[in-house]
Amino acid sequence: MVKKIFWGITILGIGIFVIAAMSGCKEGPTGPAGKDASESTLEGFAPGIKCATCHNPDLDTTYRVLTKEVQYEASSHFEGGNFARNSFDCAGCHTNEGFLERYSKGFTNETFNPIAPSGPICNQGYPNASPPGCFTCHSPHSRANFTVRDSSVVNIFTLVAGQTTKQWNSSNASNLCVKCHQPRMTSTFMWKSGTTPASWQPDPSKTNTTDTAKIYTSRWNNHVSGEPTQTLLGFGGVEIPGPTPYNNSYHTTLVGMRTLGCEDCHMATVNSSNQNGGHTFWVRYLASGSTSPSYNVNGCNVTGCHSSSPVSTSNASDPHWAQVRNEIIAKTSQLASMMMDTTITKKWSLPQSGKAVPWVTLTASAVTGDSTWSANASSLQPLVIFPASKASALWNLQQIQYEKSHGIHNYKYVKALLDNSIADLNK
Ligand code: HEC
Ligand code: HEC
Ligand code: HEC
Ligand code: HEC
Ligand code: HEC
């Protein structure tokens, strides 16, 4: 039986607990959570709601709640474990309770400031937190259905000089996803925190040798949360001038037309091997008994997308899968290797021992497997790069690594970032 920590109940035991719950429950407000967001609120019941639509001991045919639960329990939302990131600056995306606080305050009131804690920030930490779950993304009791909790448009910030905020406004579901899958503005490397000075803002125009970039943190990036969304919108990388133009794939056009959202690919029809698509949110998964990954591409092969020549993950020359991914993986690893090559790095980084320079967490070693260096950039040991624009390649390497789709999100943009970063390091 799947371990349940969330609501502390099983649907099978529903008959008994519904009676108990009903006797203890008054009809609550149907609107957003009240002022005291320190406790998880279930937001009361809609008038006339029929409990058995969802909690029926015999049949679960309307919403297949039990199935969704089992899928959800295989998702990173439930099992990723990072809901322990429950302080005021993390809880807004990492916990159900923090997200509900943001919802009750109104997402449209969130503002962004790159040099101060801002954006998805909570008034308090939530030590008794739960991971993002059914009631985070839906409000099934107050609405008596599973519509997404909030589908308002979202501003997606960028920390790159010269770029401006873009709006994510696609499907209702994806407008929900990007309320958390956006850059972490609650802490950025651009504000001075404690004794750590502000780090360099990535800026492709600072090409003079007197322009020096100092990086004081190993978190010189958008957290892992912003990159897929920025990439789909076609920005967020440092657009170094170079041989390959910065264009976008058709996916970006479709996002702009509001016809493609995260859920189309990440909540696709579940494959027979079960732990993929749907409420697992996984494209990549391990089929039972297998140690190499499989991919659920049901979302690609639908009418209007790739149905006439379906994407196949087993065809080694599939132009929309293997070819794209192999090319991006090879170029990512080439870029990472160049940044571990002391004959290249000593031209523009201090200390000139190259690989030994304090680097950004895991970035290059994760791709090249080279972990002969382990120091992280810090206030005592900053990574110093001159001209500062040479830091762009390091930014782009992280942007591409944390974009996590090997170019599927937006092949043309990712390829341009890679080609032009490699060309710049070859200069
Ligand atoms: C639209 C679907 C839906 C309807 C209708 C519904 N529920 Fe639920 N309810 C859920 C879901 C989903 C959960 C979370 C299940 C889980 O994660 O195990 C839940 C959880 C609960 C819980 C557990 C909360 C906790 O804190 O442990 C109780 C109690 C509950 N429902 C009572 C009711 C009662 C009583 C009614 C009718 C007045 C009702 N529900 C109607 C979907 C629904
Ligand atoms: C309440 C904030 C929130 C919302 C809304 C949200 N996510 Fe997430 N998502 C997270 C967090 C936090 C993690 C990491 C969980 C962990 O590590 O504990 C995550 C992890 C993931 C992962 C796994 C990443 C990995 O490589 O491990 C995928 C895929 C994902 N989310 C997709 C989605 C999609 C698609 C949607 C919209 C349907 C969505 N998320 C909505 C917060 C959210
Ligand atoms: C803007 C929403 C948001 C905020 C604020 C946020 N996170 Fe996250 N975080 C995410 C999402 C989304 C993921 C999963 C992304 C993925 O894996 O693709 C994640 C993943 C993580 C991970 C797992 C991946 C990794 O880097 O090892 C850790 C750890 C983490 N966050 C720590 C924190 C901490 C600590 C804070 C507060 C200082 C914080 N997060 C604030 C959205 C956020
Ligand atoms: C990270 C956000 C997220 C979480 C957590 C989540 N859902 Fe959903 N759910 C969605 C989105 C987004 C959709 C709509 C998908 C679409 O538009 O294709 C959806 C759709 C549904 C539907 C289908 C609605 C319909 O009318 O057919 C059901 C049922 C559902 N969710 C139940 C659940 C249950 C039960 C849980 C908890 C076990 C849960 N969801 C947790 C995001 C979430
Ligand atoms: C066109 C299809 C498509 C869309 C739209 C899409 N993704 Fe992805 N995504 C992928 C593919 C393919 C992968 C690669 C899976 C792999 O190699 O692990 C991926 C990987 C990811 C991962 C790593 C976890 C995983 O499933 O492997 C995260 C996190 C992620 N995407 C987030 C998002 C978010 C957030 C959105 C919406 C803003 C989004 N994606 C929209 C196709 C898509």
pLDDT of residue 288: 85
In a domain, 281, yes or no: no
Average pLDDT over residues 171-195: 95
Q: Which ligand is nearest to the CA of 77?
A: 2
Residues 334 and 390 in one domain: yes
Residues 115 and 238 in one domain: no
Report CA(340)–ligand 3 centroid distance (Å). Answer: 27
Residues 127 and 179 in one domain: no
- Residue 217 pLDDT > 50: yes
Residue matched to tokens 């991919």 = 295
Residues 193 and 166 in one domain: yes
Question: In the listed set 150, 175, 202, which residue is the last one of a domain according to the structure?
Answer: 150
Residues 101 and 192 in one domain: no
In a domain, 282, yes or no: no
Residues 130 and 160 in one domain: no
Residues 140 and 262 in one domain: no
In a domain, 162, yes or no: yes
- State the helix-helix crossing angle for 322-339 and 411-426, rounded to 10 degrees: 30
In a domain, 277, yes or no: no
Cβ contacts of residue 203 below 8 Å, gap of 6+? 160, 161, 162, 238, 388, 389
Backbone angles phi, psi at 317, to 5 degrees: -120, 25
Number of domains in the chain: 2
Question: In the listed set 150, 172, 203, which residue is the last one of a domain according to the structure?
Answer: 150
In a domain, 16, yes or no: yes
Domain containing 174: what range?
153-269+316-427
- What does the H/E/C string look like for 171-224? CHHHHHHCCCCCCCCCCCCCCCECCECCCCCCCCCCCCCCCCEEECCCCCCCCC
> Of the residues 177, 225, 286, which should be mutated to test ligand 2's pocket, given the most ligand atoms within 8 Å of the CB?
177
Q: How far is CA 189 from CA 28, 55, 239, 349, 366, in A?
A: 43, 47, 20, 19, 21
Q: Is the pTM of this model over 0.75?
A: yes
The answer, yes or no, to whether any atom of ligand 2 lies below 6 A from the CB of 173, is: yes
Average pLDDT over residues 224-235: 97
Report CA(91)–ligand 5 centroid distance (Å). Answer: 23
CA torsion through residues 229, 408, 170, 283, sign: negative
Residues 359 and 398 in one domain: yes
- Which residues sit with their C-beta closer than 6 Å to ligand 5? 174, 177-178, 181, 228-229, 232, 251, 260, 262, 264-266, 282-284, 404-406, 408-409
Question: In the listed set 150, 166, 197, which residue is the last one of a domain according to the structure?
Answer: 150
SS3 366: helix
Residue matched to tokens 């782009």 = 396
Q: How confident is the model at residue 32 (pLDDT cuts 50, 70, 90)?
A: very low
pLDDT of residue 361: 76
Which of 176-190, 378-392, 402-416 comes out lowest in average pLDDT?
Answer: 378-392
Residues 178 and 254 in one domain: yes
Q: How many CB atoms lie within 10 A of CB 56?
A: 17
pLDDT of residue 103: 97
In a domain, 307, yes or no: no
The answer, yes or no, to whether any atom of ligand 4 lies below 6 A from the CB of 63, is: yes
Residues 328 and 424 in one domain: yes
